[in-house]
Amino acid sequence: MKILFVGDVFGRPGRRTVGQILPGLRKECGADLVIANGENAASGVGITGETAEGIPVIEGDSRIIRPVNYPPGTPGRGFGVFPAGGRRVAVVSVLGRIFMQPYDCPFRSLEAVLGSLGGETPMIVVDVHAEATSEKVALGWYFDGRISAFIGTHTHVQTADERILPRGTACLTDVGMTGPHDSVIGVRKELALKRLLAQMPVRYQPADGDLRLHAALITLDPANGRALAIERIQRRVEA
């Protein structure tokens, strides 16, 4: 089972990058399932119905999930089980807490997901949306052998620490960003610098140069859910 995980899609440039690169890349990789982080797909600050194919975003499309450790009563679903390659793959989103808001504990939230799945599928891929490298790595070690892959998002910089832990869990601290890399993690450089230098509110806008798609290709054993391989991918839109 091959799963292609696409890093944070940033604004219209990111969406354009996906449109130009993803179809061919999916065919090249032989991916059975594509997962993409779309938190920044609309102008770099969220997701809208228009950027999610015109379908109501949170509750109307079962393909869209939000972090599982949001407070009870938050609209949407924190995980889903999707058909792929004649099998089923569980996809989960979870937020970190270090340097972020005090969300529910990601460790306990993921334990609850495993209980809810009840062995429905051994293939479980988790998007860890978090600031701290330590928290992402710790989650991988804690769930090693019980979750197929932990792929980090949020920091928009692809890390070079992909590995498979001893019990078969694939980990990557951050898969990177899909969008404009001639930028400050997607934002126009002059706007980011103005905010940092003046410490005054600035309306961020996506940059539009050096478009790249960052992703990870994870190969799983469908019989037991263990990772067999993980590979980082970087592709550039040619001018």
pLDDT score, position 44: 46
pLDDT score, position 193: 95
Amino acid at 125: V
- Confidence band, pLDDT 50/70/90 cuts, at residue 55: very low
pLDDT score, position 49: 52
pLDDT score, position 42: 67
DSSP 183-194: SBTTB-HHHHHH
Residues 101-136 pLDDT 10s: 989 999 999 999 999 999 999 999 999 999 999 999
Tokens of 19: 């449109």
pLDDT score, position 58: 62
Q: Which residues is 229 bridged to in the sheet?
A: 219
Residues 192-213 pLDDT 10s: 999 999 999 899 999 999 999 9
- Confidence band, pLDDT 50/70/90 cuts, at residue 47: low
* pTM of the full structure: 0.91
User: Does the pLDDT at position 80 exceed 50?
Assistant: yes
Answer for the pair 176, 162: CB distance below 8 angstroms, yes or no.
no
Answer for the pair 112, 101: CB distance below 8 angstroms, yes or no.
no
Instruction: Cite the beta strand spans of the chain per DSSP E.
Output: 2-6, 8-9, 33-36, 79-84, 87-95, 124-129, 149-153, 163-164, 170-172, 177-180, 211-220, 227-236
User: What value does the mean pLDDT of the chain take?
Assistant: 92
State the Cα–Cα distance between residues 9 and 169, nearest whole angstrom: 25
Lowest mean pLDDT across 70-74, 82-86, 143-147, 231-235 = 70-74
pLDDT score, position 73: 86
Lowest mean pLDDT across 8-12, 40-44, 92-96, 162-166 = 40-44
How many structural domains does the chain have?
A: 1
Looking at the chain, the whole-number percentage of residues with pLDDT higher than 90 is: 85
Q: Which domain holds residue 27?
A: 2-236
Q: What is the DSSP letter of 105?
A: P
pLDDT score, position 43: 54
Question: Crossing angle of helices 106-117/133-142, nearest 10°?
Answer: 40
CATH number of the domain residue 208 falls in: 3.60.21.10
Residues 133-181 pLDDT 10s: 999 999 999 999 999 999 999 999 999 999 999 999 999 999 999 999 9
